[in-house]
Structure 1
Amino acid sequence: MLNSRERFQLVVLDQLGEGVIVADADGKIVTVNRAAEEIHGRVKLDVPPDEYSETYELLTLDDEPYPSTQLPLSKAVNEGLTVIDAPWKIRRPDKSVVIAVGTARPIIDDDGEQIGAVLTMRDETLRYHAERQLKEALRVKETLLYEVNHRVRNSLQVVSSIVSMHRHSVQDPDALEALENAGRRIDVITATHRSLYELGTHDWVDCTYLLPDLCKQIVETYQQQTQVSINVDARGTVILGVSHAVSLCLAVTELVTNACKYAFPDRKTGEIHLLLDATGDDVHVRISDDGVGMDEAAAGEAPQGIGTMIVSGLAHGIGADIARETSGSGTSFSIRFPRQAESLDQVHKAFVRDVDQIEDHWQLNRLA
């Protein structure tokens, strides 16, 4: 017979929203509160540890019978271990399956002796399935965005091919130069979209490698006229959203193109320096050459070309400050703008957190 205090304790346990199962020193189940009964769909007492799994139809997350010795309550009873937030499945008598998450701890008396163990648990079925659906939705979204970027890149390549075809049929020098410039700018945008695959995301571009490659390609196209070399100094990692990356790449390649075309008249050699510095709070990009410099008075009076408008539009597009310095020993353009991401690692972590770590608290404790 239960005394009044024991009856009171059982009533209190039944009021709890969390399931509670208590085992004695031998591991036999002596108490199952109402919440635990609802989760399991049954109550059976005096069940020893080696029969927990079969009696309550406990399964791993892979729908295999859960080895009784590996159950959280068994580990607390037999090994005196505390197991926190372990997941498992329960097949109820009506054949429905519940996802449970529970914590098991040994019960220690005042003398330090283990006199039993307690398992607290909760029904996480809805959350488990909701998170799986969310994970799948995120994967579908990523797949669709990759497909969109792939189609954009292919479309840009088609446009580039069309421009190239027209270029071969044009005789007028001004029209030919305009088509060459348009084709080059299209190729820059295409390369930016292609780099999305290299970083592994659909909206971030690693300009640390992309910009030097683009600039080297441009310099190579002008080496038939002048032996121009380019030196690159990259400090830190420059990670930009795709729209910012396109603007920056267009602006920088435009400045490098202008340097190749105009900085070294009547010279056989020339040198261009590209600095990418992302070690501070701002991103600093500097393009400088050792050419003849610019005539400031003439530059101020001349109408803006498309290249100049592209570079100027960058400042408005990404909040950049652009400064120019020129002298008889060369010209330098500096572009500064706030960072978008601290590092490639930060972007990668954000992506992984969204897509791959949603179910971490389920996977950490699942059986192999």
Structure 2
Amino acid sequence: MANAKILYIDDDPALSRLAERILSRHGYLVQHAPSVAAGLVSFEAGGFDAVVLDHYLQDSTGLHFLETIGEKARTVPILYVTGSSDAQVAITALRSGAADYVMKSPNEDFFPLLVSTLDQAVENHRLRLAKELADRQLLIAKERAELLLAEMNHRIANSLALVSAMIRMQIQTVSTEESKAVLMETQSRITAIAGVHRSLYTSESDGEVELDVYLRSLINELLTTTRTKEQQIEMVMELDRMFVTPDKAVSLGVIATELVTNAIKYAFPNRAGRIWVTLKAEPQQATLVIRDNGIGFSPSDRAQGTGLGSKLINAMATRLEGKVAYDASEGTLVTTAWSLQGAST
């Protein structure tokens, strides 16, 4: 192993010189330590790619060396050499932090086995270090990407909020009620989209919107901004916890915005009523149900306003690959259903 530096701890000077010559021929740079004490001093100085550690030494055993360095044994591969036939010695060495072991024998197989095992230990250690470095770099890159994404969503939400504020100012300058209504509807739609981006940098799920939290915030805001002072409208929400992708959240937010806004504006000519919003997650599909106890509405009825709302609801349902069903038998009930396959709940 070219340029790899080895600390060789053994109290047999003849065997150590032979090991140094053989390992040098295989590209290793060898520094010899004749005792545990000397080996500890050299090890603490650092700079080694591996340690070859003999078991029986004059001042102690290799196990004492492993015990002394403790967790530092994980930072450099240590190859334990023992002539003992007791397998428990090798097992204890491995448990104490040795990367591998070689049985010392008087025949010619010892050094080829030592070189082979040392090559493998050094290479495995280098690969592990490379993997740890790559993992750290990947984690840093992931955290940076998440930070940039959160910042982007924050900026988009703020920009949309600014546009919404500009439209609100514009509403104060127009003279006709029809123009004001159109601008207010536009403002509500922008608010729905801005809420998605706001949710993306507060959600606990990476890249997904916590739909129940998002819808609750959106609908409460719609109730505050759309309801007149004379209206007494109660909002009842039962929302299952659910995570969806941003595009689904936008579609559902627009649908909820159109239906809740229409209910507030048109369902209660007597200025009092109740709106129920229910979000249910079932094993195969989810449903968003918006119901009111107002005068009732059917898609076949003549549109009040521009009629853009119904077109948007159908377009958003198509994006969801879902279906919208209306029931005007008692008030208005609109059910939007979509598949939950592959979704988080």
TM-score by length of 2: 0.69
- 2:235 aligns to what? 230
Matching residue's letter, 1:287:
I
Residues 165/311 of structure 1: CA separation in 2 closer, same or farther (3 Å cut): same
Matching residue's letter, 1:241:
T
Q: Which has the higher strand share?
A: 1
- 1:324 aligns to what? 326
2:314 to 284, 287, 312: 312
Larger CA deviation: 126-135 vs 330-339: 126-135
Structure 2 gap segments, 5+ residues each: 48-61, 101-120
- 1:278 aligns to what? 281
Q: Would you say 1:54 and 2:46 are equivalent positions?
A: no
1:6-51 Cα deviation digits (max 9, x unpaired): xxxxxxxx9xxxx999999xxxx9989969x97x853536552883
Choose 1 or 2 for highest CA Rg: 2
Identity within the alignment, %: 24
Residues 191/106 of structure 1: CA separation in 2 closer, same or farther (3 Å cut): farther
CA distance in 1, matches of 2:244, 2:173: 38
Residues 240/108 of structure 1: CA separation in 2 closer, same or farther (3 Å cut): farther
- 1:114 aligns to what? 89
- 2:170 aligns to what? 166
> How far has the Cα of 1:304 moved from its partner?
7.6
> How far has the Cα of 1:164 moved from its partner?
1.5
1:242-268 Cα deviation digits (max 9, x unpaired): 2221121111121111111122223x4
1:148-179 Cα deviation digits (max 9, x unpaired): 22221222122112212211110011111111
Which has the bigger relative contact order, CA under 8 A and spacing at least 6? 1
- 2:116 aligns to what? none
CA distance in 2, matches of 1:322, 1:103: 68
Please state whether the residue corresponding to 2:172 is helix, strand or coil. Answer: helix
Q: Would you say 1:255 and 2:259 are equivalent positions?
A: yes
Matches within 5 A, 1:136-155: 136-155=140-159
Q: Would you say 1:289 and 2:289 are equivalent positions?
A: no
- 1:269 aligns to what? 272
Count of matched residue positions in the alignment of Structure 1 and Structure 2: 289
CA distance in 1, matches of 2:29, 2:35: 16
CA distance in 2, matches of 1:276, 1:176: 31
Please state whether the residue corresponding to 1:294 is helix, strand or coil. Answer: coil
> How far has the Cα of 1:128 moved from its partner?
3.1
> How far has the Cα of 1:275 moved from its partner?
0.8
CA distance in 2, matches of 1:23, 1:107: 12
- 2:117 aligns to what? none
Is the 1:20–1:119 Cα contact (8 Å) retained in structure 2?
A: no
Is the 1:22–1:119 Cα contact (8 Å) retained in structure 2?
A: no
Residues 261/147 of structure 1: CA separation in 2 closer, same or farther (3 Å cut): same
CA distance in 2, matches of 1:223, 1:280: 39
Structure 1 gap segments, 5+ residues each: 1-13, 60-72, 89-99, 344-368
CA distance in 1, matches of 2:337, 2:193: 21
- 2:103 aligns to what? none
Matches within 5 A, 1:193-212: 193-200=197-204, 203-212=207-216
- 1:94 aligns to what? none
Is the 1:238–1:283 Cα contact (8 Å) retained in structure 2?
A: no
- 1:298 aligns to what? 301
1:106-129 Cα deviation digits (max 9, x unpaired): 999887743673523421343333
CA distance in 2, matches of 1:280, 1:106: 60
Q: CA RMSD in A?
A: 4.0
Residues 251/55 of structure 1: CA separation in 2 closer, same or farther (3 Å cut): same
1:133-156 Cα deviation digits (max 9, x unpaired): 322222222222222222212221
CA distance in 2, matches of 1:86, 1:312: 65
TM-score by length of 1: 0.65
CA distance in 1, matches of 2:306, 2:79: 74
Residues 324/21 of structure 1: CA separation in 2 closer, same or farther (3 Å cut): farther
CA distance in 1, matches of 2:8, 2:284: 56
Q: Would you say 1:123 and 2:126 are equivalent positions?
A: yes
Residues 56/286 of structure 1: CA separation in 2 closer, same or farther (3 Å cut): same
Is the 1:274–1:287 Cα contact (8 Å) retained in structure 2?
A: yes
Is the 2:7–2:32 Cα contact (8 Å) retained in structure 1?
A: no
